[in-house]
Structure 1
Amino acid sequence: MDRDTPTSTGAFYRLSIELIWAIAGRLETDKDLCAFRAVCWTTRNAIDDGSCSFWRSKFHVKYAMDNDATKPFYNAVLKKEYQHRAKWLKRGLALSFKDQGHSSRELKTLAVLRTLIIESFRGDQKELASDLHGRPLCPNQMALLNFLLGARTFPRVKTTASSPKRREYEGPNPELAAIRLMVGQLMFHTEAPRYDICYFEDSQRAVYEHWNRAPIFTGDGDLQVNMEWALHCFNFFRHHMVREDVNSLYDAMAALEPGDRPSAWRNQISQGRSIMSRHWKGTYSYLTHEELRRLRRDKEGSDEYFVDKNIDEGENIQDLTLDFKTKGEFTWPEGFETRLQSLRPTMALRKTRAQYRSSKTEEPPAPILVQGQGRDHDDTFFASGWLNPLAPQHGIPGWQRVTLMKHYDQGYDNILEDDLWAYEGVVLPGGRIMLGRWWYANDEPTDPDYGSYGGPFILWAVDSAPTFEPED
């Protein structure tokens, strides 16, 4: 008899459908499930029963779901969706992504990964898993993490300016960078892998590039996140955090409690403004003026090695408290605004047909005032700025633009006489990680060299309160 043809007799022939479901539900892989389904007609009919109840249960174990059984043919939809995800997650493991997110198979795999990101923490959350340190992960995040660990090249896609075999593509698909950036957050939930996401030399060159040649926000109205730059910034700091041989941040990060280390989003990501954690840790990096000039002149890359300052000794992880305010009278100095442009529009508003017929115009989401304190080399500093929501980026909602002015005088009376350092960055969906650029901001914005001296920073939300006592 053909081994793939189910038999009408055998060990499972007299088992009840509930018992067959129980056995199938304990199978760890989809490959084992397919083999079990093909054992005999009884197992096949039980798994493919008309109500598709088994597939509803299977979907609920592996993915987040709404539990809305009132929808017509809901279980059948779950069966189809489960099989679709299994198909493209399996195929995606073997993809080389040589077309840098442009080919049909690459796009279908990215679509499944994007769906898992958007639908994470949806519905009933009683089945939350946890990482090695007990931090919560929803089933979708576990599926993403398993894909990340099993994929051959996805975590280490080496993007270039143009695809060598697909000349019609104008560089890497930014959707690929956006999804790699989101999935990359889960790499902090496992002891492996230790490899870099991008070539570190490329990331180092990218994060120190002049702001007018590598802006964090691009496109019409500067409404699009420069995903390649953000991915390089993420890779730059992760390189210092997880690579023991680099002798920078590895020991300091290992000494932190699990709740104080970077982590991925912990709730369903949503569009619009959101108030985030009050407690943060972070760090920044810099080069000397001469090193910056040499690095920026070196466009093709060389063997010259640049030591990133401030994180080279592995001790400069800062504590920071941030308060988010949506109501009340706020003081925002004009000197801060001219240097940061914090209140510029961050979303393109589109009118509906009804709005075009009326005189009413949709109001943009109001920004959130951010005020906080931190410690830098035993000096207390203050941070003032704004949080603005961004439109969904490549189908993923929840991105935000953050701007902060770091100053050492708590008041705003003589701000231009203070030591000012500007920060601009992007908050990743879920509000757990900020990536961006700092620059020296005492110069006038009209100065041709304004913003030329700067570097990258990272902030991540933590569970514990800061080690210093914030001033009133």
Structure 2
Amino acid sequence: MQADRYESVADPSQRSRLLELPNEILQYIATILPDDKDLLNLGRVCKEANARILAPNAHTWRSRFGQKYDIPKGRSCEELFVEYQIRTIVLNQDIDFKNRENRLQQTMWLEVIQNMLSEALLLPLRVGEESKTLGQLKETMLRSRKFLNRPRTSHPCELYYAVQLCLTPLALDPDISKGCYRQDYDIDKVYSYTKDPNGPLIEGNNLDLGMLLDFRGFWQRHLLNSTEGTFYDTFLRLAESLRPQFRKTDNSNPMSLSSSWLGYYSCVHPLPLTLDDLRRRQSCADLDSHWDQIEMMSLEVVAQSSEPFWPEMCNRIIPRSESPTIRMETVYFNGYQRTYGGSCNASNPMFGFIEPIKISYGGFSGWTRICFVLCEQVHETGQVITEAPGWVHGYEAVIIPGGRIMMGRWLDMKDLSGRGPLYSGIFRSQTRRPMNPAFH
């Protein structure tokens, strides 16, 4: 779309009566036209109409932009004119990241999606208000299904990985995406099969985006593909309000952990003898072993504090950051875990911490490391939960920008052969409950 291209469709010797209208009315007419082609045709009535309606600084562009997208504060009409044209041109292109050619076209497309994601994640929203930019992102992903459906690419880059990860709620939306192939993620990394699981999965500010996308690929496959026979049925039965969401509507600090989470973990028992065996049988959720049903995990955060609580036995396996800067901003929390839909009394104590990741990977801020431990509540006593006789499971994950999705892994803290991937998302707000004394 070019505002300065003019082809007269009227008699140049006569001034159109349309131009007798005040600018406000003329530009209002321009904003209610249903299609951009109609807008261009209106601008072609004559040069004066073109200048009044389609000039870069015309209010037309603010109104036109605002009909489709959320408008960031402080943006001029001319800036919105440029951005509107870029998005119109770039997003209408057919993009294929399996093609080794057209790298410049692919980069431009990713940059436009990155800008739109930033708007959808960060711009303030009223309670109950939906992001217009997010609506446009959904339409774009419906036209570009290959991008989400086949997340692995032959020439990845930080921007590609970051955009893919921030689009996880759409990648796990069965109305927009579908299950990827098993070859679209590395099951070795998902289960830390050939790597010693001792030590941090995320160390300091060093975030392996490719590894995170492997976790996303695993869940995209097993949540959305009916042939897996694993988590598909329970995930598809979830109400829409319980499905993965993009962001916290209050736009709060990423270090303010939301109170309620719902998700899955996966395991394989016994751990396969070879990597090929693991590739064939990727989860006990096929119900061929110690699982007799698929259970969803509910996590409730009760309280947050700056007071450190992370026992040494936990720190040996999942260590906190050694950075003094990160330590100063670490937030500790406690709560409980239970089976979603199960008895409120059958809950297990939980404690952990969240650390900031200071690097804005892919241009997105808000990446956060979360680590927590769940202990089996064998009996109600005041003893320290890490000394309880039941199972103790540790979790380490990344909360992606938007604050509503975490992905990572879990470990059996007493037997490291028990381990696997974790996915969880915020699913509702909940009144905080009194702190359980067994958490201390």
TM range (shorter): 0.7 to 0.9
Q: Is the 8 A contact 1:141 1:186 kept in 2?
A: no
**What does residue 389 of structure 1 align with?**
356
Q: Distance in 2 between matches of 1:306 and 1:332?
A: 34
Could you list the per-position Cα deviations for residues 155-178 of structure 1 after superposition, in whole angstroms to 9, with x for gaps in the alignment?
234535xx4xxxxxxx52132122
Q: Distance in 2 between matches of 1:309 and 1:101?
A: 41
Letter in 2 for 1:396: F
Q: Is the 8 A contact 2:368 2:400 kept in 1?
A: yes
Q: Is the 8 A contact 1:119 1:268 kept in 2?
A: no
Q: Distance in 1 between matches of 2:303 and 2:372?
A: 12
**What does residue 211 of structure 2 align with?**
229
Structure 1, unmatched stretches of 5+, are 129-134, 164-170, 350-361, 444-450
**What does residue 352 of structure 1 align with?**
none
Query: Helix, strand or coil: the match of 1:289?
Result: coil
**What does residue 430 of structure 1 align with?**
402
After TM superposition, the structure 1 = structure 2 runs for residues 294-313 of structure 1, keeping only pairs within 5 Å, are: 294=274, 296=275, 305-306=280-281, 308-310=283-285, 312=287
Letter in 1 for 2:152: T
Q: Distance in 1 between matches of 2:276 and 2:80?
A: 54
Letter in 1 for 2:404: R
Match of 1:456 among 421, 426, 432: 421
- TM-score, scaled to structure 1: 0.75
Could you list the per-position Cα deviations for residues 225-262 of structure 1 after superposition, in whole angstroms to 9, with x for gaps in the alignment?
22222222223223333334444334323443332222
**What does residue 323 of structure 1 align with?**
302
Query: Helix, strand or coil: the match of 2:284?
Result: coil
Q: Is the 8 A contact 2:68 2:133 kept in 1?
A: yes
Q: Distance in 2 between matches of 1:337 and 1:205?
A: 24
Q: Is the 8 A contact 1:217 1:224 kept in 2?
A: no
Instruction: Return closer, same or farther for 1:404/1:63 CA change in 2, 3 Å cut-off.
Output: same
Q: Distance in 1 between matches of 2:112 and 2:376?
A: 47
Letter in 2 for 1:6: S
Match of 1:366 among 329, 336, 350: 329
Q: Distance in 1 between matches of 2:167 and 2:394?
A: 29
Q: Distance in 1 between matches of 2:56 and 2:282?
A: 64
- TM-score, scaled to structure 2: 0.80
What root-mean-square deviation, in Å, do the aligned CA atoms of Structure 1 and Structure 2 show? 3.7
Instruction: Return closer, same or farther for 1:234/1:407 CA change in 2, 3 Å cut-off.
Output: same
Could you list the per-position Cα deviations for residues 341-373 of structure 1 after superposition, in whole angstroms to 9, with x for gaps in the alignment?
02433xxx9xxxxxxxxxxxx786420102121
**What does residue 336 of structure 1 align with?**
314
Instruction: Return closer, same or farther for 1:383/1:309 CA change in 2, 3 Å cut-off.
Output: same
Q: Distance in 2 between matches of 1:414 and 1:45?
A: 72
Letter in 2 for 1:408: E
**What does residue 86 of structure 2 align with?**
84
Aligned length, in residue pairs: 414
Query: Helix, strand or coil: the match of 2:408?
Result: strand
Percent identity reads: 21
Shift of 1:425: 0.6
Q: Is the 8 A contact 1:65 1:124 kept in 2?
A: no
Q: Distance in 2 between matches of 1:415 and 1:242?
A: 39
Instruction: Return closer, same or farther for 1:182/1:176 CA change in 2, 3 Å cut-off.
Output: same
1:282 aligns with 2:263: yes
Q: Distance in 2 between matches of 1:43 and 1:386?
A: 60
Shift of 1:423: 0.8
Could you list the per-position Cα deviations for residues 59-102 of structure 1 after superposition, in whole angstroms to 9, with x for gaps in the alignment?
22222223437xxxx221221122222222223xx121236799
Letter in 2 for 1:369: Y
Shift of 1:381: 1.6
Instruction: Return closer, same or farther for 1:40/1:146 CA change in 2, 3 Å cut-off.
Output: farther
Letter in 1 for 2:162: A
Query: Helix, strand or coil: the match of 1:370?
Result: strand
Q: Distance in 2 between matches of 1:210 and 1:390?
A: 26
Shift of 1:28: 4.6
Query: Helix, strand or coil: the match of 2:138?
Result: helix
Q: Is the 8 A contact 1:101 1:176 kept in 2?
A: no
Q: Distance in 2 between matches of 1:382 and 1:100?
A: 50
Instruction: Return closer, same or farther for 1:211/1:307 CA change in 2, 3 Å cut-off.
Output: closer
Q: Is the 8 A contact 2:299 2:336 kept in 1?
A: yes
Shift of 1:14: 5.9
Letter in 1 for 2:213: L
Structure 2, unmatched stretches of 5+, are none
Instruction: Return closer, same or farther for 1:471/1:340 CA change in 2, 3 Å cut-off.
Output: same
Query: Helix, strand or coil: the match of 2:338?
Result: strand
Query: Helix, strand or coil: the match of 1:120?
Result: helix
Q: Is the 8 A contact 2:369 2:399 kept in 1?
A: yes
Q: Distance in 2 between matches of 1:394 and 1:237?
A: 22
Q: Is the 8 A contact 1:144 1:183 kept in 2?
A: no
Shift of 1:424: 0.7
Q: Distance in 2 between matches of 1:30 and 1:217?
A: 49
